[in-house]
């Protein structure tokens, strides 16, 4: 499964979700499909995308929050999984694209390439719903189920270690940040 | 315990008065009363962290979602959180209020606290993080309010150092 195809397959489902992604390929690929004001790309601070998602989910429990994480990022903040599980935001779906490598800095293998199992780690941390998927069909079905489950889910999607040719996009970091905050404010004002 | 309950109450009141709704924290001795107050306050969301850097992410998310927050941590926790502060808090211009217990200053008895105490202010300066000290009860509430005001006006992380003279009753 390619990450780009996985994102494409669920893109329609993200219209009303609040989406936080990590840097690099995930951010560039989601933007290549189509940026929306409800998407925030954390372009650095590896590991903190799930923490940002937790902050939003706790502050606004009525909003469906989706975090697109990666194996390299999550490995930098494994303790964050225990915090996620501890507060168990039922409105948060945590997707981890696991390509078993640090693709954007030369493709060096991460520990998931030698057997570290992020779904098992999430489960052992206390995340109530976890799973690992390897095909597009499985991913699409499991993501849809997670969105309907009404409980914290960590879904690990094994993907190929391929990505875009570059990572810098036309969307400036601060433009994205202020647009995203405004989106959340307007949605609150509209009572949605 | 000689941690000042009176000063902790003043600090907590300052946080409440400045509109803080989410506190993320990692326990340390000087923070025990503050964390307990946050825990017992039904209007407050307390996020207990595994590592301080997570708190930068939590506060960032809370800010986007329209809720004011604060981080409670020891200076060594601040040192552990620096990339998050720089690459999330500063890069994305997040008004982040950090209350940092300034261990390792004059009067410190724990040898392991002393190295970090000597570098904390230099690191804050190097990061261009505006900071002030809370070292006497009289200015606590005012300085917290002013710190929060600057954090929002500048849209940047700011810090208040919780000092021994305020926090510890020998």
Q: What is the pLDDT of residues A124-146, one digit of tens each?
A: 999 999 999 999 999 999 999 99
Whole-number pLDDT of residue B50: 97
**Taking a C-beta distance cutoff of 8 angstroms, is the pair A57, A65 a contact?**
yes
**Taking a C-beta distance cutoff of 8 angstroms, is the pair A44, B54 a contact?**
no
Whole-number pLDDT of residue B99: 98
**Cβ–Cβ gap B60/A52 under 8 Å:** yes
Instruction: Tell whether the model's pLDDT for residue B1 goes beyond 80.
Output: no
User: What structural domains does chain B harbor?
Assistant: 5-167 (3.40.50.970)
- Quick one: A25 exposed, middle or buried, by C-beta within 10 A (0-12, 13-18, 19+)? buried
pTM: 0.97
Instruction: Tell whether the model's pLDDT for residue A192 goes beyond 80.
Output: no
Instruction: Tell whether the model's pLDDT for residue A10 goes beyond 90.
Output: yes
Task: Summarize the confidence of residues B30-50 as an average pLDDT.
Answer: 98
Whole-number pLDDT of residue A191: 85
Task: Summarize the confidence of residues A51-63 as an average pLDDT.
Answer: 98
- Quick one: B150 exposed, middle or buried, by C-beta within 10 A (0-12, 13-18, 19+)? middle
**Cβ–Cβ gap B63/A188 under 8 Å:** no
Task: Summarize the confidence of residues B130-145 as an average pLDDT.
Answer: 98
User: Length of chain A in residues, anyone?
Assistant: 192
Q: What are phi and psi for residue B47, nearest 5 degrees?
A: -110, 110
pLDDT range class, residue A103, cuts 50, 70, 90: confident
**Which residues from chain B sit within 8 angstroms of residue A180, using beta carbons?**
64
Task: Summarize the confidence of residues A74-97 as an average pLDDT.
Answer: 98
Q: Is B156 helix (H, G, I), strand (E, B) or coil?
A: coil
Which DSSP string corresponds to B75-116?
A: HHHHHHTHHHIIIIIITTT---EEEEE-TTSTT---GGGHHH
Whole-number pLDDT of residue B114: 94
Task: Summarize the confidence of residues A173-184 as an average pLDDT.
Answer: 98
Q: What is the pLDDT of residues B72-83, one digit of tens each?
A: 999 999 999 999
Residue-averaged pLDDT of chain B: 97
Task: Summarize the confidence of residues A94-120 as an average pLDDT.
Answer: 95
B132: distance to nearest CA of chain A, Å? 26
Contact B56/A at CB under 8 A: yes
pLDDT range class, residue A34, cuts 50, 70, 90: very high
**Cα A1 to Cα A3: distance, rounded to the nearest angstrom:** 6
Whole-number pLDDT of residue A167: 92
User: What structural domains does chain A harbor?
Assistant: 3-189 (3.40.50.970)
The residue of chain B nearest to residue A177, with distances taken between CA atoms, is: B92
Residue-averaged pLDDT of chain A: 96
For A17, A19, A29, A171, the CA distances from A36, given in Å and listed in that order, are 10, 9, 13, 11
- Could you give the count of Cα atoms lying within 13 Å of A189 in the half-sphere of its Cβ? 6
Q: Is A69 helix (H, G, I), strand (E, B) or coil?
A: strand
CA A110 and chain centroid, separation? 18
């Amino acid at each position: 499964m390619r990450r780009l195809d996985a994102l494409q397959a669920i893109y329609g489902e993200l219209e009303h979700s609040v989406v936080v992604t990590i840097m690099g390929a995930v951010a560039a690929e989601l933007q290549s499909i189509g940026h929306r004001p409800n998407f925030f790309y954390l372009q650095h601070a590896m590991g903190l995308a799930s923490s940002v998602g937790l902050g939003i989910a706790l502050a606004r429990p009525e909003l469906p929050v989706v975090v697109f994480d990666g194996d390299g990022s999550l490995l930098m903040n494994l303790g964050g999984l225990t915090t996620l599980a501890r507060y168990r935001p039922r409105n948060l779906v945590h997707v981890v694209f696991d390509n078993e490598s640090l693709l954007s800095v030369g493709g060096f293998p991460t520990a998931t390439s030698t057997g570290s199992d992020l779904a098992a780690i999430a489960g052992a941390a206390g995340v109530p719903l976890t799973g690992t998927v390897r095909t597009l069909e499985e991913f699409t079905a499991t993501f849809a189920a997670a969105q309907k489950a009404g409980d914290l889910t960590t879904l690990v999607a094994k993907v190929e270690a391929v990505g875009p040719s570059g990572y810098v996009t036309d969307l400036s970091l601060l433009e994205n940040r202020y647009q995203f905050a405004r989106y959340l404010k307007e949605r609150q004002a509209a009572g949605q | 315990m000689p941690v000042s309950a009176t000063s902790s109450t003043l600090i907590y009141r300052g946080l409440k008065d400045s509109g803080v709704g989410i506190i993320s924290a990692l326990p340390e001795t000087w923070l025990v009363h503050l964390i307990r107050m946050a825990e017992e306050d039904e209007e407050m969301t307390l996020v207990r962290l595994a590592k301080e850097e997570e708190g930068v992410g939590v506060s960032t998310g809370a800010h986007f979602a329209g809720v004011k927050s604060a981080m409670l941590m020891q200076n060594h926790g601040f040192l552990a959180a620096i990339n998050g502060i720089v690459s999330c808090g500063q890069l994305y211009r997040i008004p982040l209020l950090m209350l940092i217990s300034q261990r390792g200053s004059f009067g410190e008895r724990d040898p392991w606290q002393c190295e970090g105490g000597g570098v904390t202010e230099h690191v804050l300066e190097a990061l261009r993080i505006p900071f002030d000290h809370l070292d006497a009860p009289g200015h606590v509430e005012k300085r917290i309010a002013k710190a929060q005001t600057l954090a929002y006006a500048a849209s940047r992380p700011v810090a208040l150092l919780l000092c021994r003279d305020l926090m510890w009753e020998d």
